[in-house]
Amino acid sequence: MTASPLRHAAPGNDGTRTHNRLGRTHRTRTAVAVAGVLALALLGTAACGKEGDPQASASANTVITESPGTSASALPSGSAAATPQPSSTGGSGNGNQAPTFPKSAKDYGLAALAAWATGSKSKLDQYAVQAAVAQFMGHGKPNSQWTTLNCEPSSSGRTACNYRNAHGDDARLTMEDAQLGHPTATVDVFLNRTQYPTDAAVYVSYFMAAWGDGNKQRMTRYASSSIANMFTGKTPPTGSQTNATQNGSTWTVQVSGLPVGSGSWTFTVNGSKLGGGNAITAAKID
């Protein structure tokens, strides 16, 4: 299996909570430290695991608040959702008509992802070896709007393609070149699904990590497109320390960028929405 490209947290000191992008959290008090090394295979440089607006600049003390239900899933600017149809990119076929299979690694991966999104193992069986099918089926049913990030040689006779969907889920599929145009060309799958913590401080730290990874779709799922736009195009800190205080069902989460002096932010989190999407309802650049 291909190694994860996701940033992992550095060990935390006493009095902090550290986390990594796969959802492991070590908790002692209310602070959260997230250290990031931006090393994304999925963003065209080298990616297991709920539409973008024009970029908006935000000055100091700018506050953007979103009402529930106003968030939209974002796709990279200028890209289109990729959901191959069986008749054109290889599906289960109509009636007795035999399915066809794409001859390019990029399209073959999209067809496999489309089959995964249907939740049908029998469809996945057509595009992937059984080990890869098991990797898919162990991760639920994803959003079906996939965009290709890049494809690259993986090893001798294989090509790996990286994809991201409108919910910020990342996938890296490896195809056997000689099997393209035929069944079961997908031989390895590496998935990272967007996770939704129930802890306010961890939730915000996941938003910060998504910012560092350039995953605007995931940022939008945690907040809204307007809030995500506040951060898009700006330089994220390499890590952050997060402290949360509660007032009723509302959490105020203060974030200090690391190293010290790399920025500070205040987030408002709706406690009733923790564990799901769009819990961040406001953000202020301090």
Tokens 């297991």 sit at which residue?
A: 48
Tell whether the model's pLDDT for residue 8 goes beyond 60: no
CA distance readout (Å), 41 to 2, 211, 221: 10, 15, 21
Rounded to the nearest integer, the mean pLDDT of the chain is 77
Choose between 246 and 10: higher pLDDT: 246
**pLDDT tens digit string along 223-272?**
999 999 999 999 999 999 999 999 999 999 999 999 999 999 999 999 99
Q: What are phi and psi of 209, to 5 degrees?
A: -65, -40
**pLDDT tens digit string along 20-70?**
333 333 333 333 333 333 333 333 333 344 333 333 333 333 333 343 333
Between β-strands 146-155 and 186-192, what pairing exists: parallel, antiparallel or unpaired?
A: unpaired
Q: Given this model, what pLDDT does residue 61 score?
A: 35
Transcribe 46-112 into DSSP letters: -------PPP----TT-EEE--TT-------TT---B---IIIII-S-STTPPP---SSHHHHHHHH
Task: Catalogue the E-assigned strands of 156-237.
Answer: 158-165, 170-176, 186-192
Which of 255, 200, 227, 276 minimizes the C-alpha distance to 67?
A: 227
Tokens found for residue 132: 């890869």
Task: Catalogue the E-assigned strands of 166-260.
Answer: 170-176, 186-192, 239-247, 250-258
Choose between 163 and 42: higher pLDDT: 163
**pLDDT tens digit string along 127-139?**
999 999 999 998 9
Is residue 140 a contact partner of residue 217, using CB atoms and an 8 Å limit?
A: no
Is residue 179 helix, strand or coil? helix
Measured distance CA(202)–CA(20) in Å, rounded: 10
Is residue 163 a contact partner of residue 147, using CB atoms and an 8 Å limit?
A: yes
Tell whether the model's pLDDT for residue 193 goes beyond 60: yes
